Copies of this chain bind each other. A is one copy, B any other.
Amino acid sequence: MLFQEEKETPRKSTRASLVASSLLKSILRGELAPGSKLNIDYLREVYQVSLSPMREAISRLVSTGLVEFEDQRGYRVAPVSLQLLAEVTRLRSDLESLALRYAIERADLEWESSVLGALHRLNRTERDVSSPEAMEVWESAHWSFHKTLIEGCGMEMLVEFCQNLQNQSDRYRRIFLKKPAGSADIQDEHNAIANAAVDRNADLASKLLRAHIERTGNDLARQISGELPED
């Protein structure tokens, strides 16, 4: 063949996959209330699929921690609480900074470049808190930056766990944070983290990342504490 068609393996999605990702979004957006039962017949109707793919889709989300399951009782959306949010924030702080340390340890040009690339994209994405659509784009770039940082550790299991924690965190933000509380120095924080990372200053980078995550988490918790019972 003259020029090798670069097929990205656009593997055709199954219904179960499509429903699963759609359902994930619904849960993250809080459209399916925390703690509520996932009635399969109802969801079947909503997504217009049969029982098998519906069950399969739901069951896949169990591994993300956003759905819980009990024999003969079915599935329900994971509950929320200030305590759980604190747990998520602490683990994000511990694990993302851990992953970043490993990433810096085995850093190569490739990784450094992706980090600076992701940073640039994030900085060039406007954070217009008045536009939900724009915020979606910004949040996506934001997580991309974080993910790029930690993916350098080369440990899939760790990255996946961080992804789950991020999803949890994201859910709290979407559900409870009506007014995006964006301090102006967010951008400075990201720049500082990225610089420390490519400078191979693990202690500093790790410290800054922790601070960044904990600040975000605490801001969120403070906003929520009025709306949610202490436990």
Contact = CB atoms under 8 A, between A and B. Distances in A.
Interface string A8-39: 00011110010000000000000000000000
Nearest to A83: B154
Chain A at the B interface: mostly helix, strand, loop or mixed? Answer: helix
Interface string A50-78: 00100110011011010000111000000
A128 to B, nearest CB: 33
A1 to B, nearest CB: 23
B65 A62 contact: no
Given A14-B71, A14-B72, A59-B59, A91 B52 contact: no
A139 interface: no
**Minimum-distance CB pairs A-B, first 7:** A63-B63, A87-B155, A14-B71, A59-B59, A11-B71, A17-B71, A161-B161
A43 interface: no
